[in-house]
Amino acid sequence: MIELEGLTKRYGEKVAVDNLTFTVRPGIVTGFLGPNGAGKSTTMRMILGLDHPTAGDVRVDGTHYDRLKDPLTDIGALLEAKGVHPGRSAYNHLLWLAQSNGIPERRVREVLDEVGLTAVARKKAKGFSLGMGQRLGIAAALLGDPRILMFDEPVNGLDPEGIHWIRTLMKSLAEQGRTVFVSSHLMSEMALTADHLVVIGQGRLLADTSMAEFIRRNSRSYVRVRTPQREALLDALHRAGVTAVDGADGTLEVDGTPAEAIGELAARDGVVLHELSPQQASLEEAFMQLTAESVEYHAHTGAPLPPQQQQQQQWGESWRKG
């Protein structure tokens, strides 16, 4: 497990990570989601002991990273800027890592095979594409056969085949019972990979929820109705026990009643409709709304928020409780 407790990092006035408390559990893929600059990389660097927290604590399997005896066998990580000597081959890079961490040489061949780099293992890293570089970074993370794996934006720069490969790899690592913690700024990516979601914005925790729950709450389907006879339509719906709420641009939104039924109710009363369209709210929209509120919250520090944003903020609160 990775356990964060009140983890905080300040750079001067800037609060990069703000009082984060959550646990990353084994056997599932946990997505770490937030817009650019939310504090994901800083959090991951603190987990690995590369940055020191200003306050709070983070433990890897109950211990601070720098007290782990053989860290590569406990936690493997792919960080965004992974330093590989450009003149060194993939094989020699991994061999150097293995030898300095007491890992047998056969693991080098195994992980090269696992990430599909065997054919180019003797080529110098400076000739590697971005995708090959990512694969080499992942090979390094897997080298010590660790129980915990952490990937910072692993699909960056990968082609569709590479992205598919990473997704499959992360899921299979979790199925083996490992803890898999992966960051992204794309909800659509996480929806395909993660079982659990931790969302941050401006360094603060916004959501800590299962993916299924996030989808259940946000996959709202409704029907958008546009009519020049608003009152007449509302009457017709009301008589049938159907509730409509105001949508954007003077539209009405109806939950739980199919478009066909709404159309028939309108026709029965001779109500003209200009639009009758089933809608599905996207997860990306839900994510943007969730993180936008944290930006607003910080921009208005000390000042009361407008009622709509207060409501959105409470929505964020309920995620935290979930």
42 lines the binding site for ligand ATP (CB under 6 A): yes
Of 34 and 144, nearer to ligand ATP (C-beta) is 34
Of 11 and 96, nearer to ligand ATP (C-beta) is 11
Among 14, 52, 106, 321, interactor with ligand ATP by CB under 6 A:
14
Lookup: tokens for 46: 């603190």
| CA atoms lying within 13 Å on the CB side of residue 188 | 6
Report the sign of the C-alpha dihedral through residues 176, 178, 179, 185, in that order: negative
Exposed / middle / buried, residue 50 (Cβ in 10 Å: 0-12, 13-18, 19+) = middle
Among 1, 6, 11, 188, interactor with ligand ATP by CB under 6 A:
11
36 lines the binding site for ligand ATP (CB under 6 A): yes
Cβ 14 to ligand ATP shortest distance, Å: 5
CB distance 126 to 89 below 8 Å = no
CB distance 243 to 296 below 8 Å = no
Nearest Cα neighbor of 235 from 270, 259, 260 is: 270
134 lines the binding site for ligand ATP (CB under 6 A): no
41 lines the binding site for ligand ATP (CB under 6 A): yes
321 lines the binding site for ligand ATP (CB under 6 A): no
Of 34 and 71, nearer to ligand ATP (C-beta) is 34
Of 80 and 195, nearer to ligand ATP (C-beta) is 80
283-301 burial: b if 16+ Cβ within 10 Å, else e = beebbeebbebbebbeeee
Query: Per-residue string for binding with ligand ATP, 182-221, x by CB under 6 A?
Result: ---x------------------------------------
- C-alpha distances in angstroms, 259 versus 240, 265, 300? 14, 10, 40
Q: Contact region for ligand ATP (CB under 6 A) — 39-47, 212-220, 277-285, 293-301?
A: 39-47
Positions that interact with ligand ATP (CB under 6 A): 11, 14, 16, 34, 36-42, 185
